[in-house]
Amino acid sequence: MTKARVNGINVDLSKEREPLVEPLVVFMGMGATRSSWRYQTETFRRYFRTVTFDNRGVGKSDKPAGPYSIKMMADETLGLMDHLGIERAHVLGVSLGGMIAQELAASHPERVDRVVLGCTFAKAGPTPTFQR
């Protein structure tokens, strides 16, 4: 288990394999922890340097008062990539994680190689933030 200080909070993360393997950053949905990827990472690590982490407000990451925004969490992911020395990564997101992946790719296309989205959408209803 590793912690990284990013955007003023401690983020709980796990990274797999050596830095020479292409990085894959994976985003879980709202309320789910990085451990939700435990079955997939076994396969991912054969091909990628896989980075899983708990989003702000979830699991062992800090839980500051809200509201939280998709952009805020995408910026934290960028900070996490900087902390880990990752210039460019493939990203995979499900549900809320897919929204974060889309924001990261749209705001920083030079930092994202390929995007894989699962059971997500491009825009949340009338309120683009959520409270913890």
Domains and CATH numbers, the chain: 2-130 (3.40.50.1820)
Residue that is written with structure tokens 């390929």 in the block:
114
Cβ contacts of 71 within 8 Å, gap of 6 or more: 103, 107
Give per-residue pLDDT as tens, 24-43.
Answer: 999 999 989 999 999 999 89
Tell me what the pLDDT averaged over the chain comes to.
89
Per the CB < 8 A criterion, the answer to whether 67 and 129 are in contact is yes
Provide the whole-model pTM. Answer: 0.85
Does residue 124 have a pLDDT over 80?
A: no
d(CA 77, CA 6): 8
In this prediction, residue 131 has a pLDDT band, given cuts at 50, 70 and 90, of low
pLDDT for position 132:
55
Which of the residues 36, 61, 95, 107 is marked catalytic? 95
d(CA 14, CA 59): 13
Does residue 128 have a pLDDT over 60?
A: no
* CA distances to 56, 109, 116, 122 from 69, in Å: 10, 19, 21, 14
Query: How does DSSP assign 67-94, residue by residue?
Result: -EEHHHHHHHHHHHHHHTT-SSEEEEEE
The yes-or-no answer on residue 95 being catalytic is yes
Give per-residue pLDDT as tens, 67-96.
Answer: 999 999 999 999 999 999 999 999 999 999
